[in-house]
Amino acid sequence: MNLTRLTLYGFRNLAEQRLDFGDGLQVICGGNAQGKTNLLEAIFCLTAGRSFRSADDQILVGQTDGADEKVGYRLEGEIKRRDDALHPLLIFDQETKRRTFTLNGAPLRRVMELWAEVKAVPFVPADSLLVKGPPLLRRQFLNRFLGQKSALYRYHLQRFSTALRHRNAILKEMQRGNRGESLETWNGVYQEAAQALVDERAAAILQLAEAAQSFYRLLSRRGEAVRLAYQPASWEIGKDLAGGARREIAAGTCLFGPHLDELEIRLSGRAARFYSSEGEGRCLALALRLAEYRILCEDGGDAPLLLLDDALSELDGSRREALLDLLEPLPQSFLTTVTIDELPRRQREKASIFDVQDGEIKKRPDPAG
């Protein structure tokens, strides 16, 4: 799928403007703190329903020094797919703190409904936390990846998170000494959804590991062995639920289930979370994102949007070329860079280039005329 148009208002430091994007590589070029990441963030918000760096909509609203205070932000886009076009519209109202999200004019009840229609894979420098940060970030990665890949996963994820909240409420009551007449009943509902998530994760991680290894080989200097080890908080959730009930009641919360899973990443046999360097972490994260992208493509639908923030600066000459070669055949991809010199001439000539200065984004005229 291709983002053909984006209309911005009140988002971060970005000026109110309409942008038209082309096919293939879209290079976003500009100095530090000009708004490159903000632009990718706007695209991601509109396609995923939330930001990749802030959960708080108020932080996204453009702050100006006095004069024309923004009443919120508004993002609108046009996404062309093989057979149709989609028009997502996201509005955040600063005063009521309410967000409205519509797709082709129809309101979305849940953000996840969007994931069925529009797919996007981002990579940002902060993604090194995907490797070096807490397990929560890797679970979010898995949920987002599988949530885009499978309708059944979305269905079970939504059921699981509801069942989790209900089961926690029962355990809290029991911790206070009240009877939990329906605990056993809820164990059943909880376990069914939990098991479905665990099974889908286990299968997908095998696919992910293979793809991540090949991308890491391509992008890192030494190409060490990458292993992904799925560590479910409980393989046999049923057994643990029965046996662990006493501990769970004492804790007043669920102690077993996919909301506690870990996806361990190993590099040359060592846990990358603790041993990898910042650079290795970034490179591994990029490999994981590209793996996510490739697997989402394999499902035969439209290819997702690929949003790469500052992905070249960490790579040396030949790895840069390798990454750019990967991007070349894609229907559309976005890449930010501080200087266009990071791109070899061949790619520069084919790409659409946008210059960002102080939130103003301008398309560079086509050299061919």
Partner 1 sequence: MPVFPPSFSRLLEALHRLPGVGPKSAERIAFFLLKSSPEESEELAEAIRLARRSIRACSQCFFLSEGDPCPICRDSRRDPSFLAVVEDSRDVIAIERGGFFRGRYHVLGGALSPLDGIGPNDLRIAQLAPRLQDGQVKEVILAINPGVTGDATAIFLAKFLRALQVKVTRIARGLPVGTDLELADEVTLRLALDGRLEV
Ligand X SMILES: Nc1ncnc2c1ncn2[C@@H]1O[C@H](COP(=O)(O)OP(=O)(O)O)[C@@H](O)[C@H]1O
Of 26-34, 133-141, 150-158, 251-259, the segment contacting ligand X by CB under 6 A is: 26-34
- Residue 117 interacts, among partner 1, Mg ion, ligand X, none and using kind-specific CB cut-offs from 5 to 8 Å, with partner 1
Q: How far is the CB of 13 from ligand X (least distance, A)?
A: 3
Task: Please classify residue 159 by burial: count the beta carbons closer than 10 Å to its beta carbon, then call 0-12 exposed, 13-18 middle and 19+ buried.
Answer: middle
Residue 324 CA: distances (Å) to CA of 44, 184, 202, 218, 330: 21, 54, 31, 12, 10
Q: Taking CB under 8 A as the rule, which mask of x and - marks residues 125-154 in contact with partner 1?
A: --------------------------xx-x
Tokens of 297: 């493509």
* The one among 167, 266, 282, 294 contacting partner 1 by CB under 8 A: 167
36 near ligand X, judged by CB under 6 A = yes
* The one among 61, 131, 204, 283 contacting ligand X by CB under 6 A: 61
**Is residue 286 within 8 Å of 310, Cβ to Cβ?**
no
**Is residue 36 within 8 Å of 108, Cβ to Cβ?**
no
φ, ψ (nearest 5 deg) of residue 292: -55, -45
Distance CA 302, CA 50 (A): 21
- The residue among 47 and 333 lying less far from partner 1, judged by its C-beta, is 47
- Residue 34 interacts, among partner 1, ligand X, Mg ion, none and using kind-specific CB cut-offs from 5 to 8 Å, with ligand X
Q: Taking CB under 8 A as the rule, which mask of x and - marks residues 71-110 in contact with partner 1?
A: --------------------------------------xx
Tell me which DSSP letter residue 340 carries.
Answer: G
Q: How far is the CB of 310 from Mg ion (least distance, A)?
A: 6
Distance CA 211, CA 50 (A): 26
- The residue among 23 and 358 lying less far from ligand X, judged by its C-beta, is 358
* The one among 38, 276, 347, 352 contacting ligand X by CB under 6 A: 38
Near Mg ion in 25-44, by CB under 5 A: 37
Residue 134: how many CB atoms within 10 A of its CB?
A: 10
DSSP, collapsed to helix, strand or coil, labels residue 26 as strand
- Residue 162 interacts, among ligand X, Mg ion, partner 1, none and using kind-specific CB cut-offs from 5 to 8 Å, with partner 1
32 near ligand X, judged by CB under 6 A = yes
Question: What is the pairing mode between strands 305-308 and 270-271?
Answer: unpaired
Distance CA 163, CA 185 (A): 11
34 near ligand X, judged by CB under 6 A = yes
* The one among 1, 2, 3, 12 contacting ligand X by CB under 6 A: 12
**Is residue 200 within 8 Å of 146, Cβ to Cβ?**
yes
Q: In what order do the strands lie in the sheet with 262-267?
A: 226-231, 262-267, 270-271
Positive/negative CA dihedral, 34, 38, 39, 40: positive
- Residue 181 interacts, among partner 1, ligand X, Mg ion, none and using kind-specific CB cut-offs from 5 to 8 Å, with partner 1
- The residue among 156 and 282 lying less far from partner 1, judged by its C-beta, is 156
- Nearest residue to Mg ion, by Cβ distance, number only: 37
**Is residue 219 within 8 Å of 320, Cβ to Cβ?**
no
Tokens of 26: 């879209």
Q: Where are the beta strands (DSSP E) in 81-172?
A: 85-86, 88-93, 98-103, 106-107, 120-123
- Residue 201 interacts, among partner 1, Mg ion, ligand X, none and using kind-specific CB cut-offs from 5 to 8 Å, with none
Binding site for ligand X (CB under 6 A): 12-13, 30, 32-38, 59-63
Binding site for Mg ion (CB under 5 A): 37
Binding site for partner 1 (CB under 8 A): 109-110, 113, 116-117, 151-152, 154-155, 159, 162-163, 165-167, 169-170, 173, 180-182, 185-186, 188-189, 193
